[in-house]
Chains A and B, each alone.
Chain A
């Protein structure tokens, strides 16, 4: 694994406002990297700095071993797709794609061959003589992609390339783009605010907030092992309950003691214990019936709750449950349709739930990002 893009101590300020704060990051050759974060987190600013469109205030960027820190875009090596696609409206599809191929030392036949090749690659060979306005949004997006990779750049930059499309097309194109990227093996950096997009497309995700990097990791790492409440909350849902560390591996919530990953927190620390809704496991009431004695005792973090509300969300039920014995232990739990049917769950029912000890994690009370 070689580092293709090396970013060191990058700062960007607009007047008094600091948009990027001391960013250091390595992008590995051939990987698909996502910058993920809420709007205003600096992800687009970072992308534009890499492109040279808005050069950073301080810090360096090396691309393929070459210092490109202060170079204008034209002297760097990248292709870019914008949210708006920025297709030239008065040029045909093939003219759009060949725009960067002209006067690049290729003769007409070579240019035509390359355009044909690209149109084939994106699966739109019949559209070559149409104008962008005559194509659908998804087709336009693919043309923009073809134009960006026409010159075979070493780096592909995607600035929210899918957010102008409707949901169905978006899911379809996600898949297509990832496949294309794997085929071309071109190092790719994509900016998005859509966590699902990042999780499904990226090899690695860079979560950003307030101009700093919160966490870098594979989608599973980011999802299952977020380093901060911000990351945990931004990607997926998270139950957050105020708690106090009693000893290593154990917290108290209200009057209930729960096993928990407490990390470096010292006993006595005020923390937030967090758990994803889908990690709440519902158990059959039968576990308590005579004849199956003490099964409950073998399960940890298991207690009774009352179902307060249930909301049907298609593939699962979003359920609010409340522990009536331990005050302040109100949880959101996602129960599969199967479980709901099998356990015949309904509002007002009392059920037993388990909070798996290895899924419950303690975070500091303040959000991870420095304010």
Chain B
């Protein structure tokens, strides 16, 4: 129709009503939450990666007296002195943020007993050097004796540059991890997606028995931390493992262990996505294929696979992302095989090299971001491919095939239950393999390092707080994005922020939090080391999936509810409380159980953020395993499993009760 044209008359500026004002307030507050807990920390981390520290020798001058204490020569800058004596090279000038350079190095014949006096001065107003803990700024010179001169040090100067990255890529021990990470993620993805596809296929396209049981078993790995399969593998294939012989001399500590464990903990995610893709297939296409006399094989490749295509791609990227960002499993079973997520941990916790930790984080961020971006694109297409008139596919019994599927699914179930079962056995056996009698000794966590039962209580506390705070924040945020009409720019900005956490690996988020919240200049510094920062980081870490769940539920509600309420002059919050929340209750419960279970199992973000008072059960598993207390680690892992299973059960019962009560109005 018409192109650009000017509209005559003054433009109408709409009056902002009370509702709109309150809604804007909410959007701003929740957007601010995401900016503070996500955008700012990430920025702090990125800038840390480009922070370079070097000693600037030209900033200082020194002057040494003769034996009688008379200064006969004039002051020289350290730069000239160093050049003259050829003491330190360029590589010696690079420093860590907390590095110190002692000035005695520039006097090869220095002795702290000599009567020589020294004068130290800065060359410009901003030069800083330390005498002991005393700080001297500016050009005024300080005269010290030899003994005190030992305590004169200069600090490195901060600048920005790429040299951290150059150092990273010139250190084979570091950059080899990129290949390692991509390798294990790719292999795990191929195996998991293949296994999960056939499993989901059996569930949706066959008349095999015990489908409910298999569905339940397939979801079990979600309930345990990703390091639990690592512990099980140690028991099965480790140096004293019962099935060690099966490896034919290969070590479980390394890629083999990581891949097997990754298949275990990513299986439910892939199964869910592919299962959804398969369940929306249209039965009419199969009828058409049969009427065209297409062979089963042909039907499979022309109907089934194209229908599930987006689900398969999506599952592949999700699995890839999970594996490449996972920290717990390679930490336990990775051995000498370095991967990116563990490198971050080693750099930060082991070497206190925060800048290098930030560099590895940036490197890890790239594949994760890429996988995330592709997945988003694919999911958009998946929605577009759905039709409302599809007929649900009903499988027909086929005894031979159904028996085959039953066998296959049983194998997968044995694998999953086997891993959990081994951990349970390990937890109950007194001293594997020497004393195989049963006892509860391994549950006496207070006798081990790692935080004891207090850690378990902290985990429960974290789970409940995360579930509560997270559900409130996420649902309110989703409501504001989805159901308010104006403030378009603010809303789309918020939507973008809400999608970001999915792309941020937990290790990266945790490290970013250190940089941002541990900065004394940050007014929010006080939450560092408290339960609050654990809650905040966990909510943010798992924000996206919760947000999408809420948005999906809200999208199913009539878009005109808000219009009707405002025409009836009722405030939006009345509608929200009386209609929106009750109608979305199942989704709200799903969000809270998702947050609870993940808070119980997560290791990656919180491993940088817990303090002695806020140790967590999942961290305790990690630390006990590190300390060699593998059986108690398995026991603690099983505690997490029991808790999550109980929570899921409670959730199922609660959901059913709510659905039952609302049966009258939910029927349609």
Binding site for B on A (CB under 8 A): 9, 11, 13, 16-18, 21-22, 51, 53-60, 69-76, 78-80, 82, 84, 86, 88-91, 99-100, 102-104, 131-134, 147-148, 150-151, 153, 210-211
Contact = CB atoms under 8 A, between A and B. Distances in A.
Contacts of A17: 1-2
Contact of B563 (A21, A80, A89, A153): A80
Nearest to A55: B14
A18 B5 contact: yes
A84 B557 CA distance: 11
A55 B13 CA distance: 9
B85 interface: no
A51 B12 contact: no
Interface stretch (B310-318, B576-584, B609-617): B576-584
A133 B667 contact: yes
Contacts of A80: 563-564, 567
11 contacts: A51-B567, A73-B17, A84-B558, A86-B564, A88-B578, A89-B583, A89-B666, A90-B662, A104-B569, A132-B665, A151-B569
Contacts of A100: 567-570
B11 A58 contact: yes
Given A99-B570, A134-B664, A9 B8 contact: yes
B388 to A, nearest CB: 15
A78 B567 CA distance: 6
- Report which residue of B18, B561, B575 has the largest number of chain A beta carbons within 10 angstroms of its beta carbon: B561
Nearest to A151: B568
B484 to A, nearest CB: 12
B10 interface: yes
A89 B663 CA distance: 11
Nearest to A150: B568
Nearest to B571: A74
B560 to A, nearest CB: 4
B558 A53 contact: no
A74 B9 CA distance: 26
Contacts of B582: 90
Contacts of B575: 88
A72 B15 contact: yes
B668 A133 contact: yes
Interface string B570-605: 100001001100110000000000000000000000
B474 to A, nearest CB: 21
A148 B565 CA distance: 10
B14 A70 contact: yes
B7 interface: yes
A131 B582 CA distance: 14
Given A18-B1, A90-B662, A56 B12 contact: yes
Contact of B17 (A13, A74, A133): A74
B16 interface: yes
A86 B664 contact: no
B295 interface: no
Contact of B485 (A9, A53, A82, A131): A53
Interface in B130-156: none
A296 to B, nearest CB: 50
Contacts of B2: 17-18, 21
B1 A86 contact: no
B12 A74 contact: no
Contact of A82 (B4, B13, B563, B579): B563
Contacts of B485: 53-54
Interface in B3-61: 3-5, 7-20
Nearest to B10: A58
Nearest to B5: A18
A334 B558 CA distance: 43
B603 to A, nearest CB: 40
Tell me what chain B mostly uses at the interface: helix, strand, loop, or mixed. loop
Interface of B: 1-5, 7-20, 485, 558, 560-561, 563-570, 575, 578-579, 582-583, 662, 664-668
Contacts, number: 127
Contacts of B3: 16
Contacts of B17: 71-75
Contacts of A22: 8
A148 B567 contact: yes
A57 B9 CA distance: 10
Contact of B583 (A13, A56, A90): A90
Which 9 pairs from chain A and chain B are nearest by CB?
A100-B568, A72-B17, A131-B665, A86-B560, A73-B566, A11-B7, A55-B14, A58-B9, A82-B560
A98 B448 CA distance: 63
Contacts of B12: 55-60, 69-70
A263 B20 CA distance: 53
A134 B570 CA distance: 25
Nearest to A95: B578
Given A11-B7, A16-B4, A57-B11, A72 B20 contact: yes
A131 B11 contact: no
A64 to B, nearest CB: 16
A21 B3 CA distance: 13
Given A51-B563, A73-B563, A59 B9 contact: yes
A73 B17 CA distance: 9
Contacts of A57: 7, 11-12
Nearest to A99: B568
Contacts of A79: 567-568
Given A89-B583, A134-B664, 17 more contacts: A11-B8, A18-B2, A53-B485, A57-B11, A59-B9, A59-B12, A70-B15, A71-B15, A72-B17, A74-B567, A90-B578, A100-B568, A102-B570, A132-B665, A133-B668, A147-B564, A151-B568
Nearest to A102: B570
A123 to B, nearest CB: 22
Nearest to A49: B12
Chain B CB count within 10 A is highest, among A13, A22, A72, A132, for A72
Contacts of A99: 565, 568, 570, 578
Nearest to B4: A16
Nearest to B16: A72
A85 B221 CA distance: 44
B14 A86 contact: no
B439 to A, nearest CB: 53
A14 B109 CA distance: 81
Contacts of A104: 569
A59 B10 CA distance: 7
B9 A72 contact: no
A53 B13 CA distance: 14
Contacts of B8: 9, 11, 22, 58
Contacts of A153: 567
A74 B558 contact: no
A134 B12 CA distance: 43
Contact of B13 (A21, A54, A70, A86): A70
B569 A91 contact: no
A74 B13 contact: no
Contacts of A58: 7-12
A88 B579 contact: yes
A86 B558 contact: yes
Contacts of A51: 563, 567
A107 to B, nearest CB: 17
Contacts of B15: 70-72, 75
A74 B16 CA distance: 11
Nearest to A148: B567
Given A58-B12, A151-B568, A74 B19 contact: yes
Contacts of A133: 664-668
Given A9-B8, A51-B563, A72-B16, A91 B568 contact: no
A13 B566 contact: no
Nearest to A73: B566
A153 B1 CA distance: 37
B561 A88 contact: yes
Contacts of A132: 665
Nearest to A69: B12
